[in-house]
Structure 1
């Protein structure tokens, strides 16, 4: 029986409203290593977004390589780039720590045809079984633009992805032995219908693929969506492993974990999730200060987002909350405001639409539709993907100053 461990979307370097999460990452990544050491998989797959920024800091680079090296000591470890990752950094990792130096680490920063490293083969069960893995990192719609075209439609992106995927899967099936081989596929992509979190970068429909486009293999390891979930399909076994830490308060109650897949040639796989519990918890509170005082133990040591009722606007709110839960990191404390009884809502209070969808609706109201509107929305989505609203790219001078302050030294006399 072959065993796969699937993890994803670490987002190293992520901060929560300006608060670094280094200790949380160290704790949860150590937990993932411990699970790997205990479960002894034959292969470990990271399905993208290793970093939160395409310009990771030196400390996050060190953290990533240290943990990946620990995982590679357990089993061969394949990492594909996500939409947050830099393909150039992945090429550097592959050069310095990849198969050429024999450390069991494999990095796929850009799409590779099978003959250039897009398909991997690993022995399992002492050589009695063989794992074949096709790897597809994040692919931007720009790849499928035609020089004569001004935009790329959803259909063109989906068709282009099908062609890339078919080439990989076809090569993976060459020489397939049904009595020995187990086939896996990994991709960093949004599958239509998956439940998204608010913390993911907004992407328009030009980045989507249909469930039916996924290959029929033993298991598909997906990255990009932060909420762990199975893809809805009666014929496929595919899962998003999700992020190991809650990325924002919309994920405060989401269960986090890694996926362990047991597979045998010619048989359905057994999929189970190992829950992760490390890292500081994100918690919301709504109520009076007296209620918070009564429940203070529950919020000790959390990232706490409080909404306080029954207080006057001039109350020193943050100070009072800090006195009640001194070990909590308080995020955006606010006073609840009672709505006026005669207030009239002039909007639909349902879920807020994604920015590209809202922009598309705006263009329609302004009379712009068809190819011109799709082109504008595509360009708008690309600009959104270039921006990192919560964690801006580090400023070199700032990073040097921070490193100097953290690693002080005195000259010997």
Structure 2
């Protein structure tokens, strides 16, 4: 059986205020073609289908179109909900979907698999939707469920009990933070990285393959335990992480092969560092004019209208991060002490500018203008 493992579509997420629906539609169209080209039997989507619990209508349209196109390839589809999804909304129409599309959002069903057959017999797909401990306690009142680890361990116990009865090969689909993932892989903020919410890999012992979601960069935690990551870049911290999915082959004995399938990046992401003037004039940045740009400005003081000016050169400049360098050393004097030491109005103004500009006083041109204003000269007199 051939399985395509994807996750974290986050339909409806914006990128620094820019909509991503069209870009995601194009990427998922490529994914659908890969499913057809590689004759995939089952597409697994491991949670965070939507980015919001209340998606806009256009998000539902995109999901409907993609699921229809994937189904048209002949592949079965197994979908679970993530922490961004509203499980009830995502699963509401599950019973009415066409044959071959299985949406698993009810934690109470985790011990009952979707069983699909190939020439070697059944493969059991156990979907584990995102488990909020405070919510699932009512489902299993006798279990201690205060953490993600406890919730996943409990549900995997149910899976293992069912596997022992059914036999055969199995795949688990789960949305959680598993031990061994580096923070740089794009960890979502909603599930903490502290020890209470990290799930040990030992919890996933048994099944032939564990398809995980929640981390936005691909990650191989063990040969049979992997994150596919998101199909789009949703933050600049993910810029160096490839986008794609895992192509998983099961033979009669279990896991046989895992291959990475690359997805296209609609618009590359780049972080540029320097003063505003350097970013606006350095020819080395010409190659990034069409990229999403994060501008790290090293000017010692804030510059006027930096985003407007940057977008004149980089139309897709999305965000600015100030990182001032070469500031004047702090002499330890309070502003009051500085004022008391001034001997003229121009010097007083320069002292104020030094304060608000965090160490940089008036420029030479500004000093000339200040002197003219203090002297009472009009603009016409200065121009003459």
Using the size of structure 1 for normalisation, the TM-score is 0.71
Distance 1:291 1:79, change over 3 A: same
Q: Which residue of 2 aligns with 1:300?
A: 289
Runs (4 or more) in structure 1 with deviation over 6 Å come to 146-149
**Distance in 2 separating the partners of 1:246 and 1:138:** 22
SS at match of 1:260: strand
Instruction: Write the distance in 1 (CA, Å) between the matches of 2:136 and 2:86.
Output: 19
Q: Per the alignment, do residues 148 and 93 of structure 1 end up closer, same or farther by CA in structure 2, a change over 3 Å counting?
A: closer
Q: Is the 8 A contact 2:79 2:103 kept in 1?
A: yes
* Alignment partners' CA distance in 1, 2:133 and 2:156: 15
Aligned to 1:141: 133
Q: Which residue of 1 aligns with 2:232?
A: 245
Q: Which residue among 109, 122, 129 is the counterpart of 1:130?
A: 122
The separation in 2 between residues aligned to 1:341 and 1:48, in whole angstroms, is 50
Identify unmatched segments of 5+ residues in structure 2: 332-384
Runs of 5+ in structure 1 lacking a partner?
Answer: 345-413
Show CA shifts across 1:23-81 (max 9, x none): 21112111111111111111110000000001111000110111012112220000000
Of 246-255 and 49-58, more deviation after overlay is shown by 246-255
Match for 1:120 among 111, 114, 119?
114
Whether 1:203 and 2:191 are equivalent positions in the alignment is: yes
1:58 counterpart = 2:57: yes
Change in Cα spacing, 1:302 to 1:199, as seen in structure 2 (3 Å) is farther
Please, which of 297, 301, 310 is the counterpart of residue 321 of structure 1?
Answer: 310
RMSD of aligned C-alpha atoms?
A: 2.8
CA drift at 1:202: 3.8
Find the aligned partners of 2:66 and 2:16 in 1 and give their Cα distance: 25
- Rate the CA distance shift 1:315–1:161 in 2: closer, same or farther, 3 A: closer
Counterparts of 1:115-194 in structure 2, within 5 Å, are 118-124=112-118, 127-143=119-135, 145=137, 153-154=146-147, 157-176=148-167, 181-194=168-181
Q: CA deviation at 1:228?
A: 0.7
Secondary structure of the structure 2 residue equivalent to 1:226: coil
Please say which of residues 335-344 and 21-30 is displaced more in the overlay.
335-344
Conservation of the 8 A alpha-carbon contact between 1:131 and 1:182: yes
Structure 1 partner of 2:12: 13
Whole-angstrom distance in 2 between the partners of 1:145 and 1:275: 40
Pairing of 1:388-403 with structure 2 (within 5 A): none
Query: Which residue is 1:364 aligned to?
Result: none
- Structure index of larger Rg: 2
> Which gives a bigger RCO, structure 1 or 2 (Cα 8 Å, sep 6+)?
1
Corresponding residue for residue 106 of structure 2: 110
Deviation track 1:303-338 (CA, whole Å, cap 9, x = no partner) reads 21112446874444333323323xx32223355421
Q: Secondary structure at the match of 1:306?
A: strand
Displacement of 1:129 in angstroms is 3.8
Deviations 1:104-149 (Å, cap 9, x if unpaired)? Answer: 111011213367xx3011122xx44432211111111114548999
Instruction: Encode CA deviations 1:250-283: one digit per residue, 9 max, x unaligned.
Output: 1111111100011112254211111112322222
Deviations 1:179-228 (A, max 9, x none): xx432111111112322345612434433321111132221100111111
> Could you tell me how far apart the structure 2 residues matched to 1:324 and 1:55 are?
36
Aligned position for 1:371: none
Distance in 2, matches of 1:131 and 1:297, equals: 52
